[in-house]
Structure 1
Amino acid sequence: MSVMSSELASRRPDAAEEGDRRALQLLVVDDDASQRTLISLAAKQAGHAVTVVASCAEAIREIGHKRFDCVTLDLMLEDGDGTEVLKAIADSRFAGSVIVISGMDAARRIAARLYARSLGIDLQSLPKPVDLAALRIFLANLGKTALGLPVVHTWGGVAAESVAAKHRS
């Protein structure tokens, strides 16, 4: 373990101590090495277990052999289209969430969301380069939902629901 990763591990409270989350099983599908690294590091620092693949074929193989809570998916991969992975996800009766993280334009991400919906898949999307704060919030909320707890969006330590409630009054 590197000095930096051991420092991060010592600063992060153990998930069991926190009592309000569990480690998610996350599959990162992206052929861009820097994006794979950013996404997987953010997820690992949040205490999640991460499997990383760079192609449609690898993603489809992993989905067929292992259960995941969440898949982050690039739409444009070297060996095919991310929609092939969406089809494999649907065929595997995947019950988790999918986050499309793609450099494709908004229209293409919307088309992927509609396709995923037609397959019964819950899909969110983020543009590339990935906004790590948005990804961390999504994963934190997904971890809460996995435990049956209410979703609480936070930004900079401020609970968004309490701020919104004040403005509604």
Structure 2
Amino acid sequence: MMRSLVINPDPMTAKLVRFVLNEAGHEVVLATSAAEALREIGRHDFDAVILELDLPDRDGTELCQELRHRLYTGPFIFLTKRGQTADKLRAFAHGADDVIVDPVDPAELVARVEAIVHRYQCIDYQALGTVLKVGDAELAISDLTFRAPGREPVLLTPTELRLLECLMRNPGITMGRETLLERTWGYDLIEDSNRVEVYIRRLRKKIERHPDMPEYLHTVRGVGYVFRLPVRTTRLVPSNYRQNHHRSHPRIDGAEGLSS
């Protein structure tokens, strides 16, 4: 049975969400504040956390970060009355897997929660040693880390892992936003296309040396995103260059060396 933690200061909304999920066969624990949520997360294992952006004692996005520090590894789903694009982007930037604007059709709520939880459960965390390699880049599925030469391993969230895995399993192939939505989150909603952009930015901040000049995650304007290996530029110099040529004539010596 799927168990969800619903965090909402409005008792009517919280009870309605519990009723809808109970009818779908889910177990639900309610919390009205961040403090209550932190107590409950220590008592139970949850498959999903469904929360409001506005909580009486803490912003919902801050609570996401705190729960991650408490080693909660499941999805965060915001169910909020704040439906502005800026609010959605802020939630995604702080780790949200989905943002659902309330009121919402009960069937859609259940479908979206189950789709996201299913995606998390499909990750084989116990497949120790499972590493996806593309050139010099490695994605360790078992411990959610990305590795590249000369850098420390980077810890990813489960959603970041799924998105990056999708791109790395198709190196050099441009993946459309709708395809990435479906493969990462489990559904295809055109109005949620900004979610992919937000997560790509998050991944670039983590895995790229210079996020504004990415080596791995490239944008194909109007189409989507592609994972490519960095272009390594190497200057070819003949082994006898220093012995046979003088440094004061680099252009002439270089031409002779390359033609020999």
Mark yes or no: TM-score above 0.5. yes
Alpha-carbon deviation of 1:54? 0.6
Match for residue 108 of structure 1? 87
Matches within 5 A, 1:14-29: 23-29=1-7
The 3 A distance-change label for structure 1 pair 77 and 55 is same
Between stretches 101-110 and 137-146, larger displacement belongs to: 137-146
Which letter maps to 1:45? E
Structure 2: tracts of 5 or more residues without a match? 124-182, 188-260
Query: Is the 1:35–1:129 contact (alpha carbons within 8 Å) kept by the matching residues of 2?
Result: no
CA distance in 1, matches of 2:23, 2:61: 29
CA distance in 1, matches of 2:120, 2:57: 32
Deviation readout 1:82-125 (Å, 9 max, x if unpaired): 12320222112222111101112231121111121xxxxx5200
Tell me the secondary structure at the aligned position of residue 93 of structure 1.
Answer: coil
Between stretches 50-59 and 142-151, larger displacement belongs to: 142-151
Structure 1: tracts of 5 or more residues without a match? 1-22, 117-121, 154-169
Alpha-carbon deviation of 1:144? 4.0
RMSD: 2.4
Between stretches 67-76 and 87-96, larger displacement belongs to: 87-96
Alpha-carbon deviation of 1:77? 1.3
Deviation readout 1:102-156 (Å, 9 max, x if unpaired): 112231121111121xxxxx52000122332221111332454466499976xxx
The 3 A distance-change label for structure 1 pair 93 and 152 is closer
- Normalising by structure 1, report the TM-score: 0.65
CA distance in 2, matches of 1:112, 1:81: 10
Alpha-carbon deviation of 1:37? 1.4
Q: 1:64 aligns with which of 25, 39, 42?
A: 42
Alpha-carbon deviation of 1:29? 0.3
CA distance in 1, matches of 2:46, 2:85: 26
Between stretches 85-94 and 67-76, larger displacement belongs to: 85-94
Tell me the secondary structure at the aligned position of residue 76 of structure 2.
Answer: strand
Q: Does 1:135 align with 2:109?
A: yes
Tell me the secondary structure at the aligned position of residue 135 of structure 1.
Answer: helix
CA distance in 1, matches of 2:55, 2:92: 17
Match for residue 146 of structure 2? none
Which letter maps to 1:59? A
Q: 1:123 aligns with which of 87, 90, 97?
A: 97
Runs of 4+ in 1 over 3 A off after TM superposition: 142-153
Tell me the secondary structure at the aligned position of residue 138 of structure 1.
Answer: helix
Match for residue 11 of structure 1? none
Structure of higher RCO (CA pairs closer than 8 Å, 6+ residues apart):
1
Query: Is the 2:5–2:29 contact (alpha carbons within 8 Å) kept by the matching residues of 1?
Result: yes
Alpha-carbon deviation of 1:66? 2.0
Query: Is the 2:6–2:29 contact (alpha carbons within 8 Å) kept by the matching residues of 1?
Result: yes
Between stretches 141-150 and 44-53, larger displacement belongs to: 141-150
Which letter maps to 2:90? A
Higher helix share: 1
Percent identical among aligned pairs is 29
CA distance in 2, matches of 1:152, 1:88: 26
